Amino acid sequence: MAAPTSAKASSAFGPRPLQSLPELTKPFRSFAGYAEQCKPCVLRGLASPPTTELSAKLHTLQRRCTVSFEPTRNLFHFDVEVDSADGGRRRLINPGRISMHFQDFWETCRRASAVASAASAPSVQSDGRTARVVNMPYDTEDLPEPANPEEPQVLEVSLEELKNLALYCVEDAGDWADLLQDVHPVDPAALIHPEWQRLLRERRIWMSSGGPQGTQSVSAGFHWDHLQNIHVVLSGSKEVFLVAPLLAPALCATRFCPQSQWQMSSSGGRMRVEKVEMQSAASSTDYGLISVDSSYEENLQRHHRMAIEMKVPLFGGVGVFCKDGAFKMTCQSIETSL
């Protein structure tokens, strides 16, 4: 996890101080106490990012992957018709999903990172390289009926156009066992809290190209993870904001509302993205109407209850920021009762 250093939360929630999380260093003897009390903390020195070795191995990986895409800088955000009485009628906008070859994803991230790191991004002459992608539903409810399966439409999309989107790849770590063994052979959970080994539920790898064209970072809306998390950042950077459970109502979150997702198409050799309605009427977790990327005034306009319920200092959101093409591994998640 990374200590929150941004002024985003302060501007989003008004003149309230942003408290830093306590930091622990090796050998992490006091971590068990934090874990037992479900208190968040930052672990320093848990991993040394093997950036060069990691990049070399990913550069040769031959497989397909599922990639989420977003044309804005906010994953999982709401379209809202503002109504001061009830906070507005909401529609949750989910990222689009495509299946593509991992090498095309990796090259697109490399190009996006090169543009973002340039002092003044020059116009890049396209080399004509394209990726073959297939749109994927975000929820199983939106899969085609088994009795009438639709032949997936393969789109040829330019990598130069793809790099203008925020791309996010999430993979099950079990499918990447050989890679993780090479770049991070020691299980961080075994190092800091062996008692958690038997409670393991998920191990995932997250890779991001950063923000869409014109922005450096991409954020995930305030949400609630049902499992405890340990995050190990192998490359790039990440900011996490946490809100104390008793303050959760101030985020005005819900999972029950109409939903849409982005869908990709190609017309005249150019990529297009548009919102399409989903059949799902509930998300897998609650997402907050209040955004850490919005100003305090904008958040108040979205929902007046925030000013009433946010009465104590912000401790930390679950808004996640991946900068400079961050590669994050969620190395341990456990079940717990909170």
The full 3-state SS of 244-300, as one line of letters, equals CHHHHHHHCEEEECCEEEEEEEEECCEEEEEEEECCCCEEEEEEECCCCCCCHHHHH
Question: Which pair of tokens denotes residue 69?
Answer: 């895409």
What Cα–Cα distance (Å) separates residue 35 from each residue in 23, 32, 194? 14, 5, 12
Q: How many Å apart are CA 44 and CA 2, to the nearest integer?
A: 9
Average pLDDT over residues 199-209: 83
The mean of the pLDDT values for the chain is 75
Which amino acid belongs to residue 233? V
Q: How far apart are the first and last CA of the chain?
A: 20
Beta-carbon contacts of 286 under 8 Å, excluding residues fewer than 6 positions away, are 223, 224, 253, 254, 255
Structure tokens at 230: 């340990």
Q: Which of 204, 218, 200 is nearest to 321 (CA)?
A: 218
Q: Which residues contact 29 (CB under 8 A, 6 or more apart)?
A: none
**Burial of 198 from C-beta contacts in 10 A (0-12 / 13-18 / 19+):** exposed
How many beta carbons lie within 10 A of that of residue 64, not counting itself? 14
Please give the pLDDT value at position 84.
44
* Mean local confidence (pLDDT), 121-147: 72
280-299 residue pLDDT tens: 888 888 888 888 888 878 87
- Lowest mean pLDDT segment, chosen from 37-41, 73-77, 158-162: 37-41
pLDDT over 50 at 90, yes or no: yes
Distance of alpha carbon 34 from alpha carbon 23, whole angstroms: 11
Residue 34 has pLDDT above 50, yes or no: yes
Residue 157 has pLDDT above 90, yes or no: yes
- Report the predicted TM-score, pTM, of the whole model to 2 decimal places: 0.80
Q: Identify the residue with better confidence: 137 or 326.
A: 137
Q: Are 121 and 213 spatial neighbours (Cβ–Cβ below 8 Å)?
A: no
The predicted model gives 137-163 an average pLDDT of 76
pLDDT at 125 over 70: no
3-state secondary structure 211-230: CCCCCCEEEECCECCCCEEE
Instruction: Give the Cβ contact number of residue 83 at 10 Å.
Output: 10
